[in-house]
Amino acid sequence: MEDNYKIPRHVAIIMDGNGRWAKKRLLPRKAGHIQGARTVEQICEDAYNLGIEYLTVYAFSTENWNRPDDEVEALMNLLRKYMLDAIERCSKNNMRVRVIGDKSRLAPDIQDSIAELEVKSSVNTGLKFNIAINYGGRDEIVRAARAFAMDVKEGRVEPEALTEDMFHNYMDTHGMPYPDLMIRTSGECRTSNYLPWQLCYSEFYFTDVLWPDFNKKELQKALDYYNKRDRRFGGV
């Protein structure tokens, strides 16, 4: 790596293509999600070794409830298992895990596991890993607006005092830097309701690789792409 090679501080990923990966192998879609979950674990390790500080992955969108019941159930079971395993593993891998999205619609036992994982891993100093579950960017903005309106109603803050930074404090990603780089796998070039507020000035990298096939080499390619970009932030 060259001396001036820039490592993005925060990388956001839309992990897409699990279903197509399975279909290509004549397997049920669920098999793609299982393989995709393995990829996430490996990528967390790779991201940390590459020097990435924050990694935020899209695991389940507010729109994904529209999938067939058996697929939603399979995804929820995978998330349930992931949380339980992560509670055991987080002391070893030193990851600080947070879940973004509206957790209130998740099964109570999953909510409990998430709470336990967030508390237990909060002391860790390694990768700051965020998982978006029942996450929708529009929903997040509406929830933030509602929370701000409540504070106004209760007399805790004046409407005129609101700034962009203050509004971000009401959002699920409060306290985190905005993503520098957003990666989407599987060839789709859209954001599908992912982090609309936070990605305003991020670089976007799209690859045809399906999520279960994504690996350190592919992540490195995304970082190489990022390094060729000239981030101007509206300047010259």
- Catalytic residue IDs: 16, 64
Which of positions 59-78 make contact with ligand IPE (CB under 6 A)? 59-61, 64, 75
Measured CA distances, 224 to 89, 143, 180 (Å): 31, 36, 13
Q: Which is nearer to Mg ion, 61 or 121 (CB)?
A: 61
Please state the separation of Cα 155 from the chain's center in Å: 34
Which residue of 10, 11, 12, 15 would you call a contact of ligand IPE, by CB under 6 A? 15
- Identify whether the C-beta of residue 225 lies closer than 8 Å to the C-beta of residue 7: no
Which residue of 94, 192, 199, 225 would you call a contact of ligand IPE, by CB under 6 A? 192
Q: Which is nearer to ligand IPE, 130 or 170 (CB)?
A: 130
* 162: CB partners within 8 A, 6+ apart: 148
Report the alpha-carbon distance of residue 101 to residue 172 in Å, rounded: 7
φ/ψ region of 94 (left if φ > 0, alpha if ψ in -120 to 50, else beta) reads left
Per-residue x/- mask for Mg ion, residues 174 to 203, rule CB under 5 A?
------------------------------
Strand-strand pairing, 181-184 and 10-14: parallel
Which residue of 19, 136, 137, 179 would you call a contact of ligand IPE, by CB under 6 A? 19
Interface with ligand IPE, residue 188, by CB under 6 A: yes
Q: Which is nearer to ligand IPE, 170 or 212 (CB)?
A: 212
- Identify whether the C-beta of residue 102 lies closer than 8 Å to the C-beta of residue 143: yes
Q: Which is nearer to Mg ion, 8 or 101 (CB)?
A: 101
Place of tokens 């939603």: 72
Residue numbers at the binding site for ligand IPE (CB under 6 A): 14-20, 58-61, 64, 75, 186, 188, 190, 192
